[in-house]
Structure 1
Amino acid sequence: MNMTEMMTSFNRSVSFKRSTSLGRRAPSVTSPRVRRLSWVSRKFHVLVVIGSLISFIIAIGCGYLFLLPSFSQAFHDYDTSKFNGTFSSCNVFDGSWVQDDSYPLYNATECPFVEQGFNCLGNGRNDKDYLRWRWKPKTCDILRFNVRNILEKFRSKRVVFVGDSMSRTQWESLICLLMTGVENKKSVYEMNGNKITKQIRFLGVRFSSFNFTIEFFRSVFLVQQGWMPKHAPKRVKSTLKLDKLDNISTHWINSDVLIFNTGQWWVPGKLFETDQTRRICNVTQNPLSEARGRDQSLFSDTVLEVVKNMKVPITVLHITAMSALRSDAHVGNWSDSPFTPDCSHWCLPGVPDVWNEIILSYLLTD
Structure 2
Amino acid sequence: MDTINPLKDQPHSIPLRKLLLWALCALLPIITFYHLIAFPFPHSLSQSKQSLVITTSSSTPSKEIGNASVEISCDYSNGNWIQDKLGPLYTKCNTIKEGQNCITHGRLDNDYLYWRWKPNNCQLPRFDPKKFLQLFKNKNLAFVGDSLARNQLESLLCMLSTYSPHDLVFSHGEENKFRKWHFPSHNVNISIYWSPFLVKGVEKSDKTYYNTLYLDSVDEKWAKDLGQMDLVVFSIGHWYLLSAIYFYGDKVLGCHSCPGLNYTEVGFYDVYGKAFETTFKTILDRRGGGKDKLDVIVTTFSPAHFEGEWDKYGACSKTKPYDAKEKEKLEWMDAEMRETSIKQVSIAKKEGHEKNVVRFEAVDVTKLAYLRPDGHPGPYMHPFPFANGIQERVQNDCVHWCLPGPIDTWNEILMQVMIKKMDKLR
Q: TM-score, normalised by structure 1?
A: 0.67
Amino acid of the structure 2 residue aligned with 1:224 = K
One of 236, 239, 246 as aligned partner of 1:262 = 236
For the 8 Å contact 1:118–1:347, the answer to whether it is kept is yes
Q: Distance in 1 between matches of 2:361 and 2:133?
A: 25
Deviation at 1:265, TM superposition (A): 4.8
Is the alpha carbon distance of 1:255 and 1:323 closer, same or farther for their aligned partners in structure 2, counting shifts above 3 Å? same
Tell me the amino acid that sits aligned with residue 132 of structure 1: Y
Shift of 1:130: 0.3
Equivalent residue number for residue 240 of structure 1: 213
CA distance in 2, matches of 1:225, 1:173: 27
Aligned to 1:208: 184
Larger fraction in helix = 2
Q: Which has the larger displacement, 148-157 or 210-219?
A: 148-157
CA contact (8 A) 1:157 1:256 kept: yes
Partner of 2:336: 298
Counterparts in 2 of 1:93-108, with a 5 A limit? 93-107=77-91
Residue number in structure 2 paired with 1:80: 59
For residues 145-294 of structure 1, the aligned pairs below 5 Å read: 145-182=127-164, 185=165, 188-192=166-170, 199-226=175-202, 237-248=210-221, 249-269=223-243, 278-279=309-310, 280=312, 281-289=315-323, 290-291=326-327, 293-294=329-330
316-325 or 330-339, which moves further after superposition? Answer: 330-339
CA gap 1:192/1:86 in 2 versus in 1, 3 angstroms: farther
1:208 to partner: Cα distance: 1.8
Contact 1:163 1:260 in 2 (8 A): yes
* 2:415 alignment partner in structure 1: 360
Aligned partners of 2:155 and 2:404 also within 8 Å: yes
Aligned to 2:121: 139
* Matched position secondary structure for 1:323: helix
Cα separation, partners in 2 of 1:129 and 1:86, compared to 1, 3 Å = farther
Q: CA RMSD in A?
A: 3.2
Letter of the 1:239 counterpart: T
Percentage of matched positions with identical amino acids? 31
Q: Give the 3-state SS of the residue equivalent to 1:330 in structure 2.
A: coil
**AA at the equivalent of 2:407:** P
Deviation per residue, 1:77-114 (Å, 9 max, x gap): x943427999972322221001111121112x2x1111
Query: CA 1:250–1:131 in 2, change beyond 3 Å: closer, same or farther?
Result: same
Cα distance, 1:300–1:151 mapped onto 2, change above 3 Å: closer
Are the counterparts in 1 of residues 171 and 180 from structure 2 also a CA contact under 8 Å? no
- Aligned match of 1:63: none
TM-superposed deviation, 1:154: 2.2
Identify the match of residue 130 of structure 1 among 112, 121, 124. 112
By how many angstroms is 1:210 displaced? 2.0
CA shift, 1:278, in A, is 3.7
SS across alignment from 1:97: strand
Deviations 1:303-352 (CA, angstroms, capped at 9, x unpaired): 34444444235443321111111001111011137532010000001111
- Whether the 8 Å CA contact 1:189–1:205 is kept in 2: the answer is yes
Q: 2:352 aligns with which of 283, 298, 312?
A: 312
**Structure 2 length-normalised TM:** 0.58
- Aligned-pair CA distance for 1:198: 6.8
Judged with a 3 Å threshold, the aligned counterparts in structure 2 of structure 1 residues 213 and 126 are, in CA distance, closer, same or farther, namely same
The one-letter code of the counterpart of 2:190 is I
Which position in structure 2 is the counterpart of 1:92?
76
Across the two proteins, how many residue pairs are aligned to each other? 277
Q: Supply the distance in 2 between the matched residues of 1:343 and 1:132 (Cα, whole angstroms).
A: 19
Specify the SS of the correspondent of 2:330.
Answer: coil
Which of 203-212 and 305-314 deviates more? Answer: 305-314
Cα pair distance change 1:222/1:347, threshold 3 Å: same
Change (3 A) 1:101 1:193: same
Instruction: Give the structure with higher Rg (CA).
Output: 2
Structure 2 stretches lacking a partner, 5+ long: 1-55, 64-68, 246-255, 260-307, 354-359, 386-393, 422-426
Matched residue, 1:3: none
Say whether the 8 Å CA contact 2:83–2:114 is kept in structure 1: yes
Does structure 2 retain, via aligned residues, the 8 Å contact 1:152–1:210?
Answer: yes
Worse overlay, 144-153 or 213-222: 144-153
- In 2, Cα distance between equivalents of 1:100 and 1:210: 31
